Amino acid sequence: MSKYVLYKNTRLLDPKSGLDIKGELLTKDNLIADFGDTVKAPEKAEVIDCNGQCLCPGLIDMRVFVGIPGADYKDTIENTGEAAAAGGVTTVCVQPNTDPIIDSIAHIEYLAIRAKNALVNFVAMPAVTKQLQGKEMTEIGLMSNAGYQAFTDCSSTIDNAALMSRIFKYAAAFDAMVVQHLAEPTLSKNGCMNAGDLATRMGLPGIPTAAETLVLERDVRLLKASNCAYHASQITCSDSIEVVKNAKKSGLNITAGVATPHASLNEYAIEDYRTFTKLSPPLRSEEDRVAVIKALKDGVIDVIVSGHDPEDPESKRVPYEQAEAGVIGLETLFSVSLEMYHNGSIELLELLAKLTCNPAKIMKLPGGVLEVGTPADLCIFDLNSPHRIEPEKMVSITKNTPFDGRPVQGRVTKTVVGGVSVFEYVA
């Protein structure tokens, strides 16, 4: 017997179609059955009054690191699912640097089995090169034929131009996408923060923005010889934004993302040597942060990601240079992103597109929209609820957030995956 759920008294938001109305939405089992101003629901339908709150497609996060397999003391698939659900994220795209590394069909299947009972959808993003070593291409064709279309070496940059050229041509033959981390190794290897006056005053080795832009410029030139889809994982500076803008104008199949911290924090967050602000790429200048916001508004940057990367206390409670790069972000992705709406930087539907339909389109996933017959993956949120980010209340095993104590406005109150409620906020 089918299960019907009617969500009434809600503000329906669908960035793909531009929908923004007061209305109702009906789900049937795991799919959206109907929505609009008023919906005729079966008498047996469960009715949920949303009390005027917003309802949008569930969020899709294109950059998430998990601890399993290999580092369950940092994080588990189950815990990642709980953190995602608490943040309104219904699909996470898993980076391949697990142990063993996700670079074959067998390892993808292992992850799929482990994630079968997780609260949210897990999508593997397999490695581009074997063991993430940047030397030999993985079986992109076999994995593409198995349904996996996005490949990345996550936090490792493929710096061999000849190899990258072959990868682009091979991936294009299978309609696959290459996702690149932008950090030229010789310029970024020994650095730990943005290069500049602040790094000099703090006595910390810097990473120049050129480390990002040089790799991007090279990749764009190589892309001109193929029709490969390319995604710049995390853009952080104005120079890189110009490269992406010009590449799009020239007709290249290129998209770009930014992590929430790079859109909401600048290098001065590091001043007290807080290791929870250490990222790869690092936090940049205020001028670069402002350029990132404008690029989101202008559509040059297509998606916002959390960059969720749990690190245990032993990896963070050390001098800044020695600390591991990475912060958690699934639970703060949405509320921190909403700052851009509340301060007038971007319209609400434009912002939601970066978190829903855009990543769905780039990753060729069925969700991210409010359409009849699509997965009933939903995020219900109170747009104006004020609160502070409190790490001790987070469900993530590790608490390495750079947003400790930050006041935010907007809270996820309910998350639905496949028609099933997987999170509900309780005050």
pLDDT band at 413 (very low <50, low <70, confident <90, very high): very high
- Residue 277 CA to chain centroid, in angstroms? 18
Token reading at 287: 């001028």
Distant-in-sequence, close-in-space partners of 314: CB < 8 Å, separation ≥ 6: none
Name the DSSP letter for residue 40: -
Q: What is the DSSP letter of 326?
A: -
Query: Is 279 in contact with 259 (CB distance < 8 Å)?
Result: yes
pLDDT of residue 224: 95
- Would strands 19-28 and 4-14 be described as parallel, antiparallel, or unpaired? antiparallel
The residue type of 305 is V
Considering the chain, tell me which residue range(s) the CATH 3.20.20.140 domain(s) occupy: 58-363
The per-residue DSSP string of 392-414 comes to: GG--SSS---TTTT-EEEEEEEE
Give per-residue pLDDT as tens, 184-197: 999 999 999 999 99
Task: Check if the beta carbon of residue 99 is closer than 8 Å to that of residue 111.
Answer: no
User: Distance between terminal CA atoms of the chain?
Assistant: 34
The ranges of the chain annotated as CATH 2.30.40.10 are: 4-55+376-424
Instruction: Write the DSSP symbol of residue 391.
Output: G
Grouping H, G, I as helix, E, B as strand and the rest as coil, residue 291 is helix
Question: How much is the pTM?
Answer: 0.97
> Taking residues 357-384, what's their average pLDDT?
97
pLDDT score of 253: 98
Domain 4-55+376-424: give its CATH architecture: Roll (2.30)
Q: Of 271, 232, 236, 224, give the one whose Cα is nearest residue 254.
A: 232
Do 81 and 40 contact (CB within 8 A), yes or no? no
What angle is formed at CA 188 by the lines to CA 317 and CA 401, rounded to 5 degrees?
A: 35
User: Side chain identity at 258, as an amino acid letter?
Assistant: V
Q: Containing H/E element for 362?
A: helix 357-363
Distance CA 78, CA 255 (A): 30
Confidence check: pLDDT of 72 > 80? no
DSSP state of 207: E
Per-residue confidence (pLDDT) for residue 427, from 0 to 100: 80
Task: Name the residue with tokens 């079986």.
Answer: 139
Phi, psi of 163 (to 5 degrees): -65, -45
Measured from the Cβ of residue 114, the count of other Cβ atoms closer than 10 Å reads 17
pLDDT at 313 over 90: no
Segments of 275-319 assigned E as strands: 303-305
Written as six digits, the tokens of 165 are 């050229």
CB 138 within 8 A of CB 127: yes
Using CA atoms, how far apart are residues 171 and 149, in angstroms rounded to an integer? 9
67-71, 114-118, 228-232: range with lowest mean pLDDT = 67-71
φ, ψ for residue 262, nearest 5 deg = -70, -20
Residues 374-391: what's their mean pLDDT?
97
Interior/surface letters 26-50, b for 16+ CB within 10 angstroms, e for the rest: bbbeebbbbbeeebebeeebeebeb
| C-alpha to C-alpha distance for 381 and 271, rounded to whole angstroms | 34
Q: Does residue 67 have a pLDDT over 80?
A: no
Cα four-point dihedral sign 197, 199, 202, 205: negative
Architecture of domain 58-363: Alpha-Beta Barrel (3.20)
| CA angle, residues 306, 309, 313, in degrees to nearest 5 | 135
Using DSSP bridges, classify how beta strands 121-124 and 150-152 pair: parallel, antiparallel or unpaired: unpaired
Nearest alpha carbon to residue 235 among 304, 153, 312, 286 = 304
Contact 107, 100 (CB under 8 A): yes
Task: Indicate the SS3 state at residue 313.
Answer: helix
Both tokens of 373, joined, read 């017959």
Name beta bridge partners: 5.
27, 46
pLDDT higher than threshold 90 for residue 409: yes
CA within 13 Å, CB half, 317: 5
CA distance 359 to 185: 28
Confidence category of residue 70, pLDDT binned at 50, 70, 90: low
State yes or no: pLDDT of 3 exceeds 90. Answer: yes
Does 73 have pLDDT greater than 80?
no
Q: What is the pLDDT of residue 232?
A: 98
Q: In which band, very low, low, confident or very high, does the pLDDT at 285 lie, cut at 50, 70 and 90?
A: very high
